[in-house]
Amino acid sequence: MTLSPADKRRAFRALHRDGCFILPNPWDIGSARVLEAAGFKALASTSSGAAAAVGRKDGELTRDEVLAHLRGLAAATDLPLNADFEGGFADDPEEVAANVALAVETGVAGLSIEDRTGRALYETRHAVERIAAARAAIDGEDVILVARTEGFLIGQTDVHAAIDRLVTMAQAGADCLYAPGMDDPAAIAALVRAVAPKAVNVLLRRGAITVPELADLGVRRVSTGGELAHIARRALEAAAQSLVEVGGYP
C-alpha cells in the first residue's frame, strides 16, 4: 500500500463535501481487494459480514477482534475505510471514547457508533453523550464520525423521533448521520434537510430506492451493509448444494 492513513482520511473527507458515492462493505481482505479493483472510492467494514466470515452472529466479535479486523482491512487497501464500530463496545461515554481512540489507531478514515444496547435504544441524552465522547476522542485526527440511530432495525419507525435524535447527534459532533432501514424518500429528504450541511448515509436495500434516486435527494453516501457478504454466502450454498446433488457446479 502506498497511501498513509492521513492521505486516506483527507480523501475520505473530500468525498463527503459534495456528490454521492457508494460505500460497499467488504467482510475480509480478499473482498476488500475485489472492491478496490472494481473502482470504488472508499470501503466500510460490516459487523455482520465479519462475524459470519468466522462462523459467528452479528455482535459476537469482541472489541479486540474487531480492532484486529479493522487493522487488517485498513492496511490491505489504499482506499479509505469506514469502521462499523457497533456500539463502541461500552455503555459508558468515557469507555466509548477510550475504545474509539483504539479504533482510530488502526488507520481507519471514519467510524460509526450505534445508539442501541440489545433490542433497546439508549435514552437520547445518554446516546448524545456517547457521540460527544467519541468526537472528543477523535479530535486531532481527521476521522469522520458517523452517528447511527438503530430504531428502524428494532421496530421503532417514528421518522420524526429518528430525525430529532440524529439532529442532536449532529450538534454533538457527528459528521455523518445514518438511520439504517429508513427507506421512504420523503423521510430521507427530511433527514437531509434537517442535518444539512452534514452528510447523510443510507443503507441500500433490495427493492428499495436506488442510488441515483438517493443522490437526487441529497444523500452523500450509500452503503451496502452485510448484503454483499450474504450474497457471497448464498452463492457458496448454491454451489455446494449443486455439487452434492448433481456432482457439478450450478
Q: What is the arithmetic mean of pLDDT over 113-137? A: 97
pLDDT computed for residue 2 by the predictor: 87
From CA 225, how far away is CA 46, in angstroms rounded?
6
Q: Which helix (H) or strand (E) holds 21?
A: strand 21-23
Residue 70: strand, helix, or coil: helix
CATH (domain of 239):
3.20.20.60
pLDDT computed for residue 131 by the predictor: 98
**Measuring CA to CA, which residue among 192, 157, 191, 178 is closest to residue 225?**
178
From CA 145, how far away is CA 83, in angstroms rounded?
10
From CA 93, how far away is CA 183, in angstroms rounded?
30
> How many residues make up the chain in this entry?
250
pLDDT computed for residue 134 by the predictor: 98
Residues 102 and 111 sit within 8 Å (Cβ to Cβ): no
pLDDT computed for residue 207 by the predictor: 86
DSSP state of 168: H
Q: What is the pTM of this model?
A: 0.96
What confidence tens digit (pLDDT) does each residue in 164-201 have? 999 999 999 999 999 999 999 999 999 999 999 999 99
> Residue 50 corresponds to which cell in the numbers above?
465479519
Residues 114 and 121 sit within 8 Å (Cβ to Cβ): no
**pLDDT band per the 50, 70, 90 thresholds, residue 227:** very high
What mean pLDDT value characterizes the chain? 97
Residue 180: strand, helix, or coil: coil
134: containing domain: 5-246
Q: What is the arithmetic mean of pLDDT over 225-237? A: 96
From CA 208, how far away is CA 135, in angstroms rounded?
32
What confidence tens digit (pLDDT) does each residue in 13-42 have? 999 999 999 999 999 999 999 999 999 999
State the total domains in the chain: 1
| Full DSSP string of 109-167 | SEEEEE-EETTEEPPHHHHHHHHHHHHHHHTTS--EEEEE--GGGGT---HHHHHHHHH
